[in-house]
Amino acid sequence: MRRRPPPLRLSRRTYATTRPAQTAAKYLERIRLDQGPEGLNAFVSVNYDLPPEVPGADGTPEPRLCIAVKDNICTSTLPTTAGSLALSNFNPPYSATILHLLLQSGAHILGKTNMDSFGMGSFGVHSSSGPVRNPRDRARVAGGSSSGSAAAVAGGLCDVALGTDTGGSTRLPASYCGTYGLKPSYGLLSRHGIISYADSLDTVGLLARSLPVLSRTFQILNQHDPRDPTSAPEDVRQAVAGAARERLRRLGDGVKGLRVGVPAEYCPSELSPQALRPLRNALRTLRRMGAELVPVSLPSTRYALSAYYVLASAEASSNLARYDGVRYGFRAPAAGEGERGDAAQGYARTRTRAFGEEVKKRLLLGTYALTAERLTEGSAFDNYFLQAQLVRKLVKRDFDAVFSAPNVLSSLPAENPTGVDLLLHPSAIGPAPLFSQLAEQDSLDAYVQDVLSVPASLAGVPALSVPVSSQGMDRGEEEEVEGCVGVSVVGQWGWDELVMRVGEVTGDKGDH
């Protein structure tokens, strides 16, 4: 008999120092005005039934943190569709743990944001609710799969947006839309109530225009959850937090003495000049403030993208097998009397109509990768899935080898005195493409967008996409470029606070 998990104990801490930009009523009015064919298409459902604002000392409503929630995070008061027809009529009976924590802290949940179906996509165009437009240039894509969350933040429709990140689904849209986008260390934020894509890779992501607000939201959510089997235990959290805070104490208020690694493998041939300018600017800023720049190598990076798509697709093929049209979700009607009672036909008909082309493509790839049937030179399971798992282990080993801090999840954690504190690299290979360019792209171009973000996901380490000015600082460089490309700050597992400290130093101080 399975034991029921202990009841969720919510912290009683309050966070009065978080200063949201607007009241909920003003945000809801902005969301209403943005509806329509010319809008961003960021929200798929809106929560107009909010509790009344509490007057402050001066009689005006006291601003409370206003949150937009990606549509694959369960909410008991709003539909949760995961951007797919398969869940078009799904109303969860419970809410995710992270929503309970936010509501307890006094936050408002404004609504659910658009996304690529089941989190599968890099451009925000694979949704049953239509594509999401980039607020900085509506002719461009917003990125994916957390496209609606990034657009809501960049468009000034909320303070913070919750996304999910499997291989870059928070960092890529943050880069395209010019916002901060954090993928925390795997296991720090609860995944209870998140609709799964790939369980060993999925994390809750955070997007915001202001890093202090993003950091404060992270503190609210950074709690152990007994309902999530992948949640890091409290003793592990305390051990790594103590080491990270000691390093922050030694740094003081700046970054003097910080060792920053620049990985050579993160400048592939596909990288555009627009992606290098923000990186150079961020590195100049850090060096000017006393940080040491160190060239490093992560040799397994070249294999990471291929391994990621094998592993993520294989896990997706297992997770999405539950959408059969019987227990919940969309069910396609029988084509005729002859099909009634035929379970196999019913499953096939429902899944064919419910899943989009991108989801079908990845499910087929994942199912094949898990096939155990023996071929001439072994099974697909041996040749692809197991090999991808070996590559993932090599990627993790590469990160542990370059960081000075030990990985507390390693069986033999040891400090590396010649290692670096953090890594810096471009968040994307270029700015957000135009919608008109998508039809001209090769079918593999969309997958290449994740080449710089998937290694951190495979290793489970924290990564923050930071908006950095792309204005040229060298003679002969262009002063302005089209679109945005962020800079990613990557740290050792559990060193999220240090990652955010450096992100605050290097990030553009303008209004995002």
On whether the CB atoms of residues 403 and 421 are closer than 8 A, the answer is: yes
Helix (H) or strand (E) holding 138: strand 137-141
Owner of token pair 């945000």:
27
Token pair listed for 418: 């010649």
DSSP 218-240: HHHH----TT-TTSPPHHHHHHH
Q: Is the peptide bond before 11 cis (omega within 30 degrees of 0)?
A: no
Distance CA 62, CA 17 (A): 12
Q: For the packed helices 211-221 and 496-506, what is the interaxial angle rounded to 10 degrees?
A: 170
- Whether residue 88 lies in the annotated active site: no
Instruction: Report the Cα 7 to chain-centroid distance in Å.
Output: 28
Active-site residue, selected from the candidate residues 105, 129, 169, 175: 169
Distance CA 331, CA 354 (A): 8
Instruction: Report the Cα 138 to chain-centroid distance in Å.
Output: 22
On whether the CB atoms of residues 432 and 142 are closer than 8 A, the answer is: yes
Distance CA 269, CA 449 (A): 13
On whether the CB atoms of residues 499 and 491 are closer than 8 A, the answer is: yes
Active-site residue, selected from the candidate residues 45, 70, 147, 488: 70
Per-residue exposure over 98-119, b if at least 16 CB sit within 10 Å of its own CB, e if not: bbbbbeebbbbbbbbbbbbbbb
Token pair listed for 4: 């029921």
Give 417's contacts (C-beta < 8 A, 6+ positions apart): 404
Active-site residue, selected from the candidate residues 45, 145, 147, 190: 145
Q: What is the DSSP letter of 10?
A: P
List C-alpha distances in Å: 260 to 192, 291, 292, 499: 34, 7, 6, 11
Q: For the packed helices 211-221 and 97-104, what is the interaxial angle rounded to 10 degrees?
A: 110
- Whether residue 145 lies in the annotated active site: yes
Distance CA 390, CA 461 (A): 18
- Whether residue 169 lies in the annotated active site: yes
* Residues belonging to the active site: 70, 145, 169
